[in-house]
Amino acid sequence: MADIKQNLTCRQALAGAFQALSDEAVKAGWPEGDVALALAELAEEQVIEVTAKVIMEGSIPPQFAAGRHSS
């Protein structure tokens, strides 16, 4: 399981830039719902890419290793 404190710290560090990106897209004329969906889809694609890299490299980051034993 991911370190909750580390995840929260990372999330806080990214929050301002994420909100600014969303605000800029809305200011450019995109509907807020479309922006939110696009950002969610981009985040999902990033998760898939990182997961694929982990699988291809045959290593699992420590924050995910604990979850392997729970199957």
Give the separation between CA 69 and CA 29, rounded to whole angstroms: 47
pLDDT value of position 43: 95
Cβ-based neighbours of 6, under 8 Å, separated by 6 or more = 63
pLDDT value of position 1: 46
pLDDT value of position 71: 44
Quick one: angle between helices 4-27 and 32-57, nearest 10? 140
Side-chain half-sphere of 34: how many Cα atoms within 13 Å?
Answer: 8
Q: Any idea which residue has 């969906």 for tokens?
A: 37
* pLDDT tens column, 6-56: 888 999 999 999 999 999 999 999 999 999 999 999 999 999 998 888 887
